[in-house]
A = this chain, B = another copy of it.
């Protein structure tokens, strides 16, 4: 019984390579031979360790998707006040996405290709619904406390996600339209963090808070 010292390291290497190739080429475009080359192993080894392309893809995708959901729930789950939470989410979202710019397209494409996988994953973990429920409850109580307006949680959730994720999905178009290179665009997105948070927060502020603004405004003018 061979206990090769680097069996796990080889499997990790294959996973790492698979991750890279699947993310950049998608499921259909990825080639097992390319993954093997990228991992520096004989291409039969990929199927030896992971049985099939489909299975390997599932492992890679589930891992990526799980990490995203966990990150999201860890931010949304705690009991930080809503405005701070929004700033945190926006900041962390944009930073995280910029670290791995191709993941959003990868996720979106794969979920379009195979929406069934999502149902299994979401249903089996009950995770993201909980995330949303937590946020909804917080909105309810902060509304009752008079901190924010009576906003639709779905709209709020979607707005935050849209403003953070879309600019990364649309990077190629955006760079062309705005005549920016990768570096400039990335810099711009980072600078956008404050703007997006302000944008969201100002849209949900309750008239009570606005009253303060108004007092301020009247005093100044």
Contacts and interface: CB of A to CB of B under 8 A. Distances in A.
Contacts of A128: 173, 176-177
A195 B112 contact: no
Contacts of A157: 177-178
Contacts of A195: 152, 155
A152 B29 CA distance: 38
A166 B173 contact: no
A128 to B, nearest CB: 5
A48 interface: no
Contacts of A211: 217
Contacts of A214: 214, 217-218
A35 to B, nearest CB: 15
Contacts of A113: 25-26, 29
Identify whether the interface residues of A are mostly helix, strand, loop, or mixed: helix
B177 A132 contact: yes
A118 B174 contact: no
Interface stretch (A81-89, A140-148, A202-210): A202-210
Contact of A108 (B105, B176, B188): B105
A161 interface: yes
A184 to B, nearest CB: 10
Nearest to A179: B129
Most chain B CB neighbours (cut-off 10 Å) among A25, A119, A122, A170: A170
A6 to B, nearest CB: 33
A54 interface: no
A102 B165 CA distance: 18
A176 B26 contact: no
Interface of A: 25-26, 28-29, 102, 105, 108-109, 111-113, 115, 118-119, 122, 128-129, 131-132, 152, 154-155, 157-159, 161-163, 165-167, 169-170, 172-174, 176-179, 188, 192, 195, 199, 202-203, 207, 210-211, 214, 217-218
